[in-house]
Amino acid sequence: MVDDTILIDELRSLIMSELVPLEDDELTNETPLVDNVLDSLGIAEVATFIEDQIGRPLEPDEETRATFASVNSIVDFINANR
């Protein structure tokens, strides 16, 4: 099982270095991601990250604004679905 700190670091790195050019202080673990940070391509990339972590594809009813709301909500979803 991957530690939450490692998951958070990997997810923040994906968002800040590959998806959106943000500085570290511009993205907290509670920053709203949907509409404010991630576009549809970014959400697709994060969905792939989630699927890699939980070892299965996301179900359509799991692809919600609540799942992608923040770094913390994504990590919580991953932990609940392992």
Mind listing the pLDDT tens digit for each residue in 6-18?
A: 999 999 999 998 8
- For residue 50, pLDDT beyond 90: yes
Confidence (pTM): 0.92
- Long-range pairs of 49-57 with CB within 8 A, sequence gap ≥ 24: 49/10, 49/11, 49/14, 49/74, 50/74, 50/77, 50/78, 53/2, 53/7, 53/78, 53/82, 54/78, 54/81, 54/82, 55/82
Give the pLDDT confidence score for residue 33 in this predicted structure.
Answer: 96
Mean pLDDT of 24-48: 93
Parent domain of 74: 4-80
Nearest CA among 23, 32, 11, 73 for reference residue 2 = 11
Mind listing the pLDDT tens digit for each residue in 24-33?
A: 889 999 999 9
CATH number (domain holding residue 69): 1.10.1200.10
Domains contained in the chain, number: 1
